[in-house]
Amino acid sequence: MGRGWTRDNLRHAQAMLRYGRNPAATVYDSIGDDFFLALAPGWLNLGLWEGDGSDPREASLAVRRLVERLAADLPHGGDVLDVGNGLGEQDPVIAAVAAPRSLTALNITLSQLRAGRARLAEARARAVNADATRMPFRRDSFDGVICVEAAFHFPSRAAFFSEAFRVLRPGGVLAMSDVPVSRWPRGPREAVAALAMLRAWGLRRTAAASARDIAGLASAAGFVDARIELVGDRVIAPALRFVRGRLEHERETREASRSYVSAAGIMVAQADLLWERSMVDYLLLRVRKPLGPPVPDG
């Protein structure tokens, strides 16, 4: 059966005109387990690639490598919180790398937590359906927080950093990836591309922040020892090349519906423009909560 529009896709397309209170959940309800542009089934990150994206076999390695790289910064054997865990593919990887005493996966999209149930069970992870900016945990609950490619969706990065700081124990680590925006659009083509991305992914204008702004928000929340890496050439460039190849293949084989492939092609072209014109990059950020006396709850 060829890939076509699902009822959730159509709801997503309709919602692009006017998102409700929870745009991320509308988007990710639509995407489901078999997202056409996903680099590998069940994975929603862009991957940390070896090579330029021309070898399709790299894709399933790249998505894991990105998570392994971030999870390597988590304290070993601690209580770990995974914020915005997607469909749960990353949780067994986090469990393997960080060998946590406990693993908690927090996601605002309930359908993803349900779809990822088996992978969460494999990782011995507890699922929590909640917002990253209002976490239902006591202060000093975790030794590590990991957040892979999700923070641009949050209603406020400042509120996320403040929550991550609150729930981490002193000395705890936050390891995350994000998509910083280095400049505002110049001219109509760039403006259309930027707007298309914001609408398609249900993002607020405040999602557009530079790497320096993002690191500044982390330090304003109290985090120290920031390590910042910009790796768009290992993430965005090869991922775009890979999906262009996938679209080419679909156009030739006609397995997916033509309108579906065209819509995906338009999205990829807009993302290409933002990358080619150096408007977006990919950030790996590791910060630490300073050691200090615990503050009583409440």
Of 24 and 218, nearer to ligand SAM (C-beta) is 24
Stretch that binds ligand SAM, among 100-108, 225-233, 241-249, 286-294 (CB under 6 A): 100-108
Considering only 39, 62, 74, 85, the residue that binds ligand SAM (CB under 6 A) is 85
Considering only 48, 53, 65, 90, the residue that binds ligand SAM (CB under 6 A) is 90
Q: Is 86 in the site for ligand SAM (CB under 6 A)?
A: yes
In contact, 22 and 129? CB cutoff 8 Å: no
DSSP state of 206: G
In contact, 201 and 264? CB cutoff 8 Å: no
> Cβ contacts of residue 53 below 8 Å, gap of 6+?
237, 238, 239, 240, 241, 242, 245
CA angle (222 as vertex; 92, 102 as ends), nearest 5: 25
Considering only 107, 141, 162, 270, the residue that binds ligand SAM (CB under 6 A) is 107
Residues 15-54 that bind ligand SAM (CB under 6 A): 24, 28, 43-45
Residues 164-183 that bind ligand SAM (CB under 6 A): none
Q: Is 104 in the site for ligand SAM (CB under 6 A)?
A: no
Phi-psi sector, 42: left (phi>0), alpha (psi -120 to 50), beta: left
Stretch that binds ligand SAM, among 49-57, 125-133, 211-219, 230-238 (CB under 6 A): 125-133
Of 150 and 247, nearer to ligand SAM (C-beta) is 150
CA angle (105 as vertex; 99, 108 as ends), nearest 5: 165
Q: Which residue has the tokens 């390695």?
A: 61
- What are the residues binding ligand SAM (CB under 6 A)? 24, 28, 43-45, 83-86, 90, 106-109, 112, 131-133, 148-150, 153-154
